């Protein structure tokens, strides 16, 4: 993970940006994080928690395929879009061997917290591993399992390879760390279906329930 201060320090060091632009870009990353929470992943906290360029690029492409987001960006002269690009650029400069700054110690690979007297351990590596997403797409393809929507069929070349990957059973529901099997634990869902299965705060719809809603909306 990194911080807004480290990001703005990087922007300052490049000597390309005015102080007002640097300040705006730093603030924009927090606003983009909220956009991701509102449009892609409910409960998303902060882009500053992620420095993996592949994961960041995935979020970037998914976010800016959403018409309403892009419409807002046009009115704001793509301020947040440009800030996101600069943040990805910044993360690309981070020395992956510098464990003290941006890489977790082994003891930090698992996030632990206590709820109801039980200790919940969630593997952050499994949750964010971009190779799992690639494996899931290779196995299942890029057509939504819920409504059969395919981005390439609808949008042409720009939509090729685009799809969201859903954990059939959220990692947070496991009391111990879990090895994720992309064949059985992950499925492709379009943006709409993915948001619907997570629509309720404390309950994730199953694929069967999702399809029942699609086929019988009333």
Query: For residue 31, is it within any domain?
Result: yes
| Cα dihedral 198, 200, 202, 205 in deg (nearest 10) | -50
Host domain of residue 180: 109-218
Question: Which residues share a beta bridge with 167?
Answer: 186
Is residue 104 one of the residues assigned to a domain? no
The verdict on 203 and 135 lying in the same domain is yes
The answer as to whether 103 is a domain residue is no
Cα distances (angstroms) measured from residue 22 to each of 7, 26, 33: 9, 6, 17
Assess whether 76 and 150 both reside in one domain: no
Residue 86 phi, psi (nearest 5): -65, -35
Q: For the segment 100-119, what is each residue's pLDDT rounded down to a tens digit?
A: 222 333 333 333 344 444 44
Q: What is the pLDDT of residues 176-210, one digit of tens each?
A: 445 677 888 889 999 899 989 988 877 889 999 99
Any residues with CB less than 8 A from the CB of 83 and at least 6 apart, and which? 24, 25, 28, 29, 32
Q: What is the mean pLDDT of residues 16-34?
A: 91
Q: Which two tokens stand for residue 135?
A: 């494996």
- pLDDT tens by residue, 36-75: 988 888 888 889 988 888 788 888 888 888 888 888 888 8
The pLDDT tens digits of the residues spanning 128-176 come to 456 778 888 888 999 999 999 999 999 998 888 888 888 887 655 544 4
**3-state helix vs strand vs coil in the chain, percent to 5:** 55, 10, 35
Cα 112 from Cα 176, distance rounded (Å): 10
């Amino acid at each position: 993970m990194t911080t807004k201060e480290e990001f703005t320090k990087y922007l300052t060091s490049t000597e390309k940006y005015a102080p007002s632009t640097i300040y705006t870009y730093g603030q924009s990353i927090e606003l983009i994080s909220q956009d991701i929470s509102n449009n892609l992943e409910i409960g998303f906290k902060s882009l500053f928690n992620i420095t993996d360029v592949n994961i960041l690029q995935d979020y970037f492409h998914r976010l800016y395929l959403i018409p309403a987001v892009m419409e807002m960006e046009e009115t704001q002269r793509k301020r947040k879009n440009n800030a996101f690009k600069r943040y990805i650029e910044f993360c690309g400069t981070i020395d992956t061997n510098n464990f003290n700054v941006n890489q977790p110690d082994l003891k930090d690979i698992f996030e632990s917290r206590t709820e109801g007297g039980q200790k919940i351990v969630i593997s952050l590596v499994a949750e964010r591993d971009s190779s799992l997403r690639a494996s899931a797409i290779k196995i299942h393809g890029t057509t939504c399992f819920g409504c059969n929507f395919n981005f390439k069929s609808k949008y042409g070349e720009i939509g090729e390879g685009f799809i969201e990957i859903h954990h059939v059973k959220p990692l947070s529901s496991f009391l111990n760390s879990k090895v994720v099997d992309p064949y059985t634990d992950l499925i492709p869902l379009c943006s709409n279906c993915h948001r619907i299965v997570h629509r309720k705060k404390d309950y994730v719809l199953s694929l069967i329930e999702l399809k029942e809603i699609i086929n019988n909306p009333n």
